[in-house]
Amino acid sequence: MKFSSKIEKCGQSPMRKFAPYADAAAARGLHIYRLNIGQPDIATPKVYFDTLKNFSRPVLSYAPSTGLPEMLDAVVGYYASFGVSLERGDMLITNGGSEALQMLLSCILDDGDEIVIPEPFYPNYATMVNLTGASVHPLTTCPEENYHYADRARVEACLTPRTRAIMITNPGNPTGAVLKPEELKLMLDIAKENDLYIICDEVYREFTYNGEPLLSALQYEGFEENVIVIDSVSKRFSACGARIGMLISRNRALIAHALKWCQARLSSTMADQLASAALYSVGPEYFDAMRKEYRLRRDTLLRKLREIPGVVCAEPKGAFYVMAALPVDDAEKFQHWLLTEFEDRGETLMFACGGPFYATPGRGLNEVRMAYVLEAPQLERAMELLAIAIERYNKR
C-alpha cells in the first residue's frame, strides 16, 4: 500500500524516538534522567483539578468551534493584563498550540511554498510544514553568536518569491534566545515590507530570567494583517496534558479561514477548556516562583555542563532548554549507547538529539537539546552522568 509523499518526508519526533529503548532500559531497572521532553515538573495549579471536580452536566455536548466563552474571555483578560487589547473574535481555541499551528499552516501554505525559520528550531515545525507540501527555509544560527537571527541582511537573504511566512519562537525552543523589543520590531518590519505572515510562537512568554516584561508581537501596532501568535496553557501553567492552545490574530480573514478547519474538527474539549480557563486565575506569585525555580535550574545545568571539556553552549535567556554541542561523533549513536550499554550506579540520561532541530542537512549531528525540567540536584547528577558517559563513550 502506498503512503502520501508528505508523510514519507516526515521523521519521527526526536524527543520521542528513543522511547522504546528508554522503556527497555527502565524495565531492566535503570533510572533515567529524562531531559528529552519539555514536560515541566512544576505543580499544576490546583484550580485546574478543582474545576474538573465540579464539572457536571446532563449531556457532555460539543463546545463552540471557536472555543468556549469562558476560555476565550480568560485569554482576553490575560492579554489585557499586559496591555494587549483583544476581542473574542481575534482568536480560536485549539487542541494545544500544536493544532493552532497545524490549522494555520494549512491556511497559508501551498505545495512548493517556503517558510523561513531560524534553525535550530522545534522539530515538529518541520513535520507540520512538510504535511502542507511546503518546505522550511532555514535561517542558520549558532551558539557562538548566541543564536542571534534578528538581522535584516540575514533574514532578507532567506526570502524567495515562494516565501509566505517567517516563523519564530520567542523565547526560543531549543535555543533559549530571547528577542529584545527592537529585535522583535525588526522581524515584524521585515515581514510587513515583504507582505509575509509572521508567526510568533510565544508559549514560553513567562519563561525569561533577566526581569524582562511580558512581550508579545501583538503589542506592536500596524502589523495587524501580518502577526499570528501561537499560545498555549501547557508550559505557562504546567498543564501540558490539558491540550488547550490558541491561535490569535487580528487578521480576521485568516481567522475566518482557520474557522473552517475548526468547524471540520467540531470543537476542542469541554472539560479541559473550562479547567484551563480557571488556570488564568493564578496570580503573579505563581510565575515569580516558577521563574526563580527555572533560573536556579538553568544556572545549575549550565555550570555543570560548562565543566565538561569540549562542550559548546550559549546561556539560554528564556524557555527551559539548553542546546549544546557535545564532544562525541554522533548524538544519536551516543543516545542509543546511553540507553543500551551505559550505566553508572544504575542510572543514565536522555536528551533530544540535535539533527532534527536543523533543516540544513548535516548540521547539529553532535548537538543535543536538554530540558531543565528536573530539580537542581537531579540536574547536577544528570550532568555528572553526562561527563562520565562522554569520557567512557570516547574511550570505547
Q: Could you give the CA distance from residue 140 to residue 116 in angstroms, rounded to a whole number?
A: 10
Part in contact with its own copies (CB under 8 A); list of ranges 176-184, 215-223, 264-272, 295-303: 264-272
Q: Which of 36, 135, 208, 238 binds its own copies (CB under 8 A)?
A: 238
Would you say 148 or 257 has its CB closer to its own copies?
257
Q: Cβ 270 to its own copies, closest distance in Å?
A: 3
Part in contact with its own copies (CB under 8 A); list of ranges 120-128, 175-183, 283-291, 377-385: 120-128
With binding defined as CB under 8 A, does residue 69 bind its own copies?
Answer: no
Q: Cβ 133 to its own copies, closest distance in Å?
A: 7
Beta bridge partners of 163: 114
Q: Could you give the CA distance from residue 260 to residue 53 in angstroms, rounded to a whole number?
A: 33
**The three three-digit cell numbers of residue 186, written as one number:** 525588526
Would you say 273 or 366 has its CB closer to its own copies?
273
Part in contact with its own copies (CB under 8 A); list of ranges 200-208, 235-243, 337-345, 346-354: 235-243
Q: Residue 82's CB: how many other CB atoms inside 10 A? A: 13
Q: Could you give the CA distance from residue 98 to residue 110 in angstroms, rounded to a whole number?
A: 19
Q: Cβ 353 to its own copies, closest distance in Å?
A: 14
With binding defined as CB under 8 A, does residue 5 bind its own copies?
Answer: yes
Q: Could you give the CA distance from residue 295 to residue 317 in angstroms, rounded to a whole number?
A: 9
Cell 529584545: give the residue.
Answer: 180
Would you say 96 or 176 has its CB closer to its own copies?
96
Part in contact with its own copies (CB under 8 A); list of ranges 39-47, 208-216, 285-293, 383-391: 39-47
Q: Cβ 250 to its own copies, closest distance in Å?
A: 12
CA–centroid distance for 367 within its chain: 18
Q: Cβ 243 to its own copies, closest distance in Å?
A: 4
With binding defined as CB under 8 A, does residue 36 bind its own copies?
Answer: no
With binding defined as CB under 8 A, does residue 266 bind its own copies?
Answer: yes
Would you say 137 or 317 has its CB closer to its own copies?
137
List the interface residues with its own copies, window 82-101 (CB under 8 A).
Answer: 95-96, 98-99
Q: Are 129 and 138 in contact (CB under 8 A)?
A: no
In sequence order, what DSSP letters do the residues of 5-16 get, joined into one string?
A: HHHHHPPPPTTT
| Three-class SS state of 351 | coil
Q: Which of 159, 270, 365, 388 binds its own copies (CB under 8 A)?
A: 270
With binding defined as CB under 8 A, does residue 351 bind its own copies?
Answer: no
State residue 363 phi and psi, 5-degree precision: -85, 150
List the interface residues with its own copies, window 305-334 (CB under 8 A).
Answer: none
CA 140 → CA 180, 187, 312, distances in Å? 19, 15, 17
CB-based burial of residue 80 (10 Å sphere; 0-12 exposed, 13-18 middle, 19+ buried)? Answer: exposed
